[in-house]
Amino acid sequence: MKKTFIVLLTTVIFWSCKEETKIDTNYVIAKFQENADNINLLEYRMQRIDTFPQSGTVWNNTGFALIEKDKNDKVFGFSFYGKRDDIEKEYIYDVGNGFEISKTDKTYKVEPGYFGFIGSPGGQMVHQNIFKLDSIYKNVSLSETENSYLLSFEFENDTVYYASDRIKVFELNKANFFPIEIKQTSRILGNKAVSIAKFSDVKINKNVTHSIKDLKQSFQNYTIIQPEKRKPNKLLAKKLPSLELPDLFDKNKIVKVNHDKLTLIDFWEVWCGPCIASFPKVENLKNKFSSDLNVIGIVSEDYKNAIKLLEKKETTFQNLIGNNELEKEFGVNSWPRYFLVDKKGIVQKEYFGFSEQIEKDIKEFIAK
């Protein structure tokens, strides 16, 4: 009888303890972070599907990633190797450097590591939420299946890129709280954008079979390709080509770019995040130097959404419709690209992305 009582008491205590573990959003988020913090080595395969609303194109890529945490790394906090199955080249980020490796040619390139390296084909296999969930959100809810928890985060609208209805759903494995799938959806200028990352063949810590060190040694005898120096634009110090382009808001109106003032030309596109993020700075230049500076934006794609974007950003500088031929003439193959033209119509400066140097140069030319 006494033995039976002890067994029953033990059972009651066990079930009481079990009931005290409340499975809610805070618990699942905490368990995800706890397990993520304990991961030092990680490798997996990923299928990544991205839908681009402006063009309607869909990328469906698969590949492999190896990640090694590095608390001393100031860019990512880890080193990584990434390889997309459809791309011959392999990519490594380690000790502050990015490596692009070609086993076919037995060559490799090295460049200073920066956050943008995550956008390389190999870097696309490394998900930004692999070790950390979003901490700033509007609402979060929890549901579950037999083998997984689903955390659904709802975010405020992004006023910089005009993304609304922003939702991110993490499907987490109940066994180790590692993501099975991460799905992001939003609407950009009214068009739906979707990004899905599906993880498989996940190996953690002692089960990881590769290392960054060994992968770097595999190409140590390859030939290093030295970076090419950027050639000066052929238009610099020359007369600006005659520009007569349709007005973005009225295609029937042809605008001739005059040289009565110093002129800043801004080549941008709807899909270019840095272009959009720089609009307020360009607008500020237009207003600050209104007596001495013309600002001309040129966009060559997706005119309908370009108009919506400019209206929502309340951008007032003039925008014209460009084309591929014009971009080639100006040597534009990255965006945003800026040109500063003096009062005589001579192209004086070219800028690869927005910087404080633009305003400094504007002041200098106005003072001449």
> Can you point out the beta strands (E) in the chain?
41-51, 58-69, 78-84, 90-94, 97-102, 107-112, 139-144, 148-154, 163-173, 179-188, 191-204, 223-224, 244-247, 250-256, 262-268, 293-299, 318-321, 337-341, 347-352
The residues with which 179 forms a beta bridge, in sequence order, are 172
pLDDT at 11: 47
pLDDT at 188: 84
Per-residue pLDDT tens for 323-361? 989 999 999 988 999 999 999 999 999 999 999 999 999
> Can you point out the beta strands (E) in 103-147?
107-112, 139-144
Least confident of 4-8, 74-78, 134-138, 353-357: 4-8
pLDDT at 229: 76
Class level of CATH domain 21-224: mainly beta
| Percentage of residues in the chain having pLDDT higher than 70 | 94
- Average confidence (pLDDT) over 145-166: 92
- Average confidence score pLDDT of the chain: 91
In angstroms, the CA 21 to CA 218 distance is 48
Instruction: CATH 3.40.30.10 in the chain: give the residue spans.
Output: 244-367
- Contact between 235 and 265 under an 8 Å Cβ cutoff? The reply is no
pLDDT at 221: 87
Per-residue pLDDT tens for 164-223? 999 999 999 999 999 999 999 999 888 899 999 999 999 999 999 999 999 998 998 899
In angstroms, the CA 23 to CA 123 distance is 34
The enclosing H or E element of 325 equals helix 324-330
Residue 21 pLDDT class (50, 70, 90 cuts): low
Residue 5 pLDDT class (50, 70, 90 cuts): very low
Class level of CATH domain 244-367: alpha beta
Interhelix angle for 273-288 vs 357-367, to 10°? Answer: 30
Question: Which residues have CB under 8 Å from 46's CB, separation 6+?
Answer: 62, 63, 64, 65, 125, 127, 197, 198, 199, 200
Other CB atoms within 10 Å distance of the CB of residue 78: 21
